[in-house]
Amino acid sequence: MTNIKGPGIFLAQFMGDTAPFNQLDTICAWAKSLGFVGVQIPSWDPRCIDLQKAAESKTYADEIKGIVNAAGLEITELSTHLQGQLVAVNPAYDALFDGFAPESVRNNPTARTAWAVQQLEYAAKASRNLGLDAHATFSGALLWHTVYPWPQRPAGLVETGFTELAKRWLPILNKFEDVGVDLCYEIHPGEDLHDGISYEMFLEKVGNHKRANLLYDPSHFVLQSLDYLAYIDYYHERIKMFHVKDAEFNPTGKQGVYGGYQNWIDRAGRFRSLGDGQVDFKSIFSKLAAYNYKGWAVMEWECAIKHPETGAAEGSVFIKDHIIRVTEKAFDDFANTGSDEAFNKRILGIQ
């Protein structure tokens, strides 16, 4: 077994226009002051990184790594959640998702998709230049508007949708294979890969590609009423990243999973700061340790109630307290009497 690395923090929700949250060196110093030892970097935020430059220049990548290291931290992974979303967008969502892309490709879905694919290719090279082994992203969605279909889905629609999704992602996965980096999809409502079954359908379409792996975030499974502990049993070999994020689901006689179009504070299912929700993190950390998860435990903060800086300060301690220092020996080794093959055969009555 291997000790899980951490605590890490995903910087996306903390970047801002005022110090220390407005540039990489100062936000890293802030994270270090709270006890974090790693940062996950949102690649779309120019205050953190120029993704293309990091892909094309090892010198620049070393400079970014140096900034993080100077604060006493490591880079856990890069993230292309926003760019990955744009690899596959149903036309119904074009206007909503255009804001994720630069102005030059807005109102042009073909150009926007090409831009997103290029961003993922940059992410593969940048990750390798930074010495990283895993990368976080979203799958995008062509089918999400049919997740609870009315009218019913036409025959073959899901098959066609996943065939197209795989067609778009397979060349990207091959780019990640070329540089030896795992591409980890965050399984998330709003994405075509939103649970185990949808991930399996995609995995089959990409030929069980060795780089088509998982970012495990139990909060999204709480909100779907999915067994997030059994999920680890099914997919532990594919789990290469871990977002430590809490959530709660409190259905009422008036609303359930779909939330009644309410804002986050009034939804039955909502994300919470670490320790304030319902996720059984003791069991999660135990399972991941038992399955020899070798990656980072990275806090992603999303809470409609608690202040983010308070959530970060508490989150660092929370993760540190949950990381298990794994044992290097069996607890009953003191009672070991030793044996050899002849002794074992005698115990079993074998001549």
* pLDDT, tens digit (0-9, with 9 covering 90-100), for 219-269: 999 999 999 999 999 999 999 999 999 999 999 999 999 999 999 999 999
Rounded CA-CA distance 263/287 in Å is 33
| Mean of pLDDT values over 120-134 | 98
Residue 321 confidence class, pLDDT cut points 50, 70, 90: very high
pLDDT at 334: 67
Containing structural domain, residue 148: 5-348
| Mean of pLDDT values over 176-190 | 98
End-to-end CA distance of the chain: 37
Q: Hunting for tokens 């969605």 — which residue is that?
A: 141
Between residues 341 and 118, the one the model is more confident about: 118
* pLDDT score of 63 more than 70: yes
Cβ contacts of residue 51 below 8 Å, gap of 6+? 43, 44, 78, 80, 119, 122, 123, 126
Residue 335 confidence class, pLDDT cut points 50, 70, 90: low
The answer to whether the CB of 116 falls within 8 A of the CB of 170 is no
Q: Hunting for tokens 């899980």 — which residue is that?
A: 4
Residue 346 confidence class, pLDDT cut points 50, 70, 90: confident
pLDDT at 351: 73
CATH classification of the domain holding 338: 3.20.20.150
Cβ contacts of residue 299 below 8 Å, gap of 6+? 7, 8, 9, 10, 36, 243, 244, 245, 274, 312, 315, 316, 318, 319
CA 58 from centroid of its chain's CA atoms? 25
The pTM of this model reads: 0.95
| Mean of pLDDT values over 81-85 | 98
* One-letter amino acid of 325: R
pLDDT at 216: 98
Q: How many domains does the chain have?
A: 1
Indicate the SS3 state at residue 89. strand
